[in-house]
Structures are given as C-alpha cells and as structure tokens.
Structure 1
C-alpha cells in the first residue's frame, strides 16, 4: 500500500492504480463495497489539497474545467487508427469504424461498446506492462487533447497516451474521453462517499473543482450555499420511463399538469442587470446566444436578478412555426455576424428560480 493521503500527492499517483480501482468497481455487484473501495482510494492515494485531480477522472461528465474533446466515437475511431499507424483498409480499422457491429461484416462479442472494441484492437499493439503514466501526466495530456484545434494534433496526443499505457489503462482513458465509465455506481453514491454535503454543493454550483476544494474534511459539515446568478444550477430532469403506461403508473392516479414538449435545447438563463449568461443542461456556457437574445431578455424580464429555465428554439417568421431541431447554432451565429434572416432565436420559459430558492411556474396548463 502507498503512503497515507497526508503525505502522498494525487498528481504523482500512478494512473494504473486508478485503472485497477475502475476494474474492481465495475466487476463488483455490491453498492456498499463499491463505495468503500472508492473511499479507500481517496484516503490512501489522494492528497486533500488536490482531490480534484482524481475525482475529475472518476466523474468526467461533471468536469467543466476542461473543454470538450470534440471526439465522439466516429471521430475517435479514425483518430485511433491514425495514432496506431494502421491502414484504413485493415481488418482492425474496419472493426473500429464499425464498432456498433463489432466488425465490418459479422457481429462481434463487444459490438456496441466502443471502448471494448478499441481494447481488442489495442491489445494486439500494446504490451501488458504499464508505462508508468501518473494522474498528473494524464490530466496534462487530456488538457492538451481538449485544446487541440485539429484532428492531427488530437491524433498526436492519443499516440502519446498509447505509448505511455497498456491496453487496460488505455481502455479506461477512452471511456474518460467519452465521459462514460460504466462503473455501475451512481454519481450520487460517489458524492455521498466523498462528503455528505458534496451533492448539495454541486447542485447549486455545478463546479466539481469547488466541491473538491471546499469539502476536504469529510467530518466537517458545509454550510448550505445559496444559488448565485451567473453560476449554473443543476436543472431537475424528468425520469426516463419505457412508455406512457409506465409514466401514468408512477403518478398514482393524481391530477397532473402537462406542458408541451418543445424540440429545442434546454437552456438556463442568468440575468444580472444587463449581464446575461446562458448554460446548457450539462452546465456548459453558451455565450453564442447573447447576440440574438440578451437585448430581448434585458428589455422584457422585469426582475433585475433572476434565473430562468426553458427551451431555446428557432422561430421561422416566413412559415410562422418553429424551425426544425438543430438550427440553433446556425441562427445564433447569423445573429452574431449581423446577417438578416427570416429565422430568429426564441426561448420558451418554464420556470423562474428566485434567489430565495423557491420555484414558480410561469404558467399552469390544464
């Protein structure tokens, strides 16, 4: 066992240790054992002054300090092919490109799981010995991957990662890049094991780094933090169910309010005087909406400081209807560039969140 957290440095901890934790948790069925193993890792291999370096790798989908990688499976497959120096006509290249089927023609055992298909390809090209990559080095390379402006630069970073890892470690890095570790343990459980107040603090700040820095001592309770205008608040999302019958069963026959489902982008608008910020459901800052919407918000929303939750869409004035899904960015960019268009951004607002933490529906539908 390594030294205790009081003397160890998170950044100097080998990523192989974290990969071993991922392997163990993913294979363990009992939730309590998963949580205790996570706690033991934090206490043994991480320094309280830098929990964030490790936690951001365990909850990659909540890390907003690093930009997006721009690498979904289709682009990542091509980048890996180039990083490995493979011919695009090779069987393994076909396997990566056709990862949903597990290969070019037949269905493979790992079909539909990109990281497992990639590990099949990698194990024929990587050794089993760890390259000694540390958590600090991995975060540095992931920062570089996120800031890379073209596929060539991203491919170079992936090649460096491949050279510093074995197949098992690289498989987990791919899952970190895709922001889905499939560990079978909820972020709620991880937050609770990290600190009793971690989930509450994250919900009102959407700032994983802040959570790690403020809640270093698990035995010291944190004073409830107020919501701040200008900082994303975690939105409440509907529970996903299989069909309408299952949804009705959940309601237990109670009277309900039904709202129209608009096919746009969920957006959170923070107004502080003339300053307006826009955040997605994943807490990403969408400043591109400012040119097309901020003047309208400032002129029509009477509250000086408030948070609004709604759906950002595009209205087609020539057809007198909402435009098809996926046109928000195009119209936002046109507004930014001062281009005339029959289409304009519009926002359907559902909820106003006041600063006393109470919700009020903008309208009730029967």
Structure 2
C-alpha cells in the first residue's frame, strides 16, 4: 500500500545492532501479543527446548485484555524475555525467522501514526542506537516527505477512530506540528524559552478550538512562523523570570513520586539522588513528606548539566523534538485539549531536567547519558499511566496557565 510518509531525516539510517546492544529492548518491560500472534506462536513448530520455554513464558492477559493486547511474555528473574539467547539474539527469530516475531518485536523502535491521511514514521529514544543518531544531528532534526510503498502490516496510532466524531482541529495537525518544531528549534532563544514559546502557541490554538475557530489556525501558524527569530520575540521573554526555590522543590517532588511509586516512604537510594540537587524529603509526625532545598547545591547541579552539554546543547533540543512526535503531541490524549496535552509534555520536560541534574556528574560519559535517556524514554514515553500522572500533578501544582508554568521552568 502506498502512503504519503513524513519521517525524520535520520530514520533510514537506523539499523538494529542486535546482540551488541548494551541495554537491549528484550528486558524489563512488557511484551504484548495480539490474539492472532498468540495463536500463531502457540501453534508454531519449535524445537523441544524452545517449545518448553514457550509453554512457561506465554501467558494470557485476563484483565482488560483485547484482541490487540491478548497475551504477554512472562519475563525471567533478571527481567529478560525468556526467548533471549546468551548472545543477545532472539531464539524465536533464530529458529523461525523474522516472521515468527510479534509485530512489536519486529518493528521496535519504529513508531507509526496516521493523521489527515499522512503516515508519520518515527524512532523511539527507548533505543540506544536512536539516541546516538540524534546526538549526531548538530544542525537539528529535519523532516522529509515522500511517497512510500509499505507492505508490512503496520501497527498504527490513528487520531480518527471509527464511530467517533472527528475533531475539526485534526485537519490542522501538520500546521500545528510544523509550528511546534520551529518553536523548539528557534536557537535565538534558550531552550526553556523555546518550550514556553511552544506553550504560548498551543494555548492560543487550544482557545481557537474551544471557540470553534479551527479554520483560523493555518493563518495563525503562518503569522507566528514569520515572528520567529525576530527581536520582538526575544523581547517578549526578557521580563519573565523563574523561581529557583520553587523549581527545586517541584523537581524534588516529581522525582520522589516517580521513584516512590505506590510506596509510603522514600528509600535511601532516592534520598541520595535528591541530595545531588540539594533537596531533602523527610516525613513529619503525620507521615507527610516535607521538602527542603539547599539552593547552592541545586545551582551546582544545573552547572554540571551545562558543562556536560557545553558546545552541544542541540542534543536536548533533539530530544524534545523527538519526544514531541513519539508521544503524539499535542493529541496524545485524544479526549483532552491541546493545552492539557502540553501540560503533560511540560511534566516530561521537567523530569528530563531533574534526571539530568540528579544523575550527571563531571565524570559522566556519553554512554551513561545514552543509557539514562533510554531508561527515561522507556519508563515515561512508552507508559500511558505515567504520562497521565504527569498531567494530574501539573494540575495539583496549579500550573494550568503559562505564567505559573514559566515560574517552574525558566532560569
């Protein structure tokens, strides 16, 4: 089938390195199979050894299952897929070829989204090869458009679902995304200012949709594109300042909740991470966590990050551009507004900054940074529940408008 395809200019440079991957995709996250894939694997002719592994590993999903989320592979004690060989290759593929794999295993880290008749193809930063690719894009990520014949049975996220009323704003998806990328790549501004600029654009677009003026979005996009890199735009942000103390406390709360999960207390390991940004979290007599901050330590953590990226700040830009697409912004949550989706994305940006400040030291290597981005991407950009949580916490912090959000983001 022929598609009008849009993809990043490095997409075709991707090649899986298989057993040479230091943090491979066959570990520590769920591997789901559709009903069709489950039946196919259940009936596949396998060697006696692999057949035994299949019987132990293949498990039906009994709660909230569907035809696309029908079964899963039970991971072993080390968190690895039991089909993984000692050489780091899939034993199922070695015996039965690539066609024996489930679609998620066959296509990762490739992601597909269909919008307004155009197929977007992107690569997830949950793969270390992809992180290395974007680290080489000094001039930024460009998008290419071409017609492609795709024969594979694609798993595609589609904005428009059968039986649902189509939102009029979906006709403007690519206008919005062009403006978003241009904002994030506007290098005359700091990255924080670019992120807030993106919020300003999306807030106005959100208001246009609320007023049923979606037809005005293309003209608004054109006018804002002409404003980029002008002095007028730079002046707009000069008077806006962040609050370092509130940023540190907010970052500490986000990181604590991320690591703490459903636990009632904060582990010593998490406390050590917080110590790197000068934040402490201790329970009072009622059990509530009380946060305090040493601003000098917090500022030093920001300086460490600046030194690590000195001369290559474009890497952070490339991460945000990639995440904007792979998290399907600003329509990740179909039922929520453009602005609400942006708030979730803002939580992701804050967590990125927090993890970098907690984890990076003056001795950190590029390889350690790559593994950090892979882990963050797996745990956040591929986890619906975590992204929903980011939106809920944005509301709890009272960051429902751009001015209050700027206090928590801007240096």
Q: TM-score, normalised by structure 1?
A: 0.29
Q: TM-score, normalised by structure 2?
A: 0.26
Larger helix percent: 2
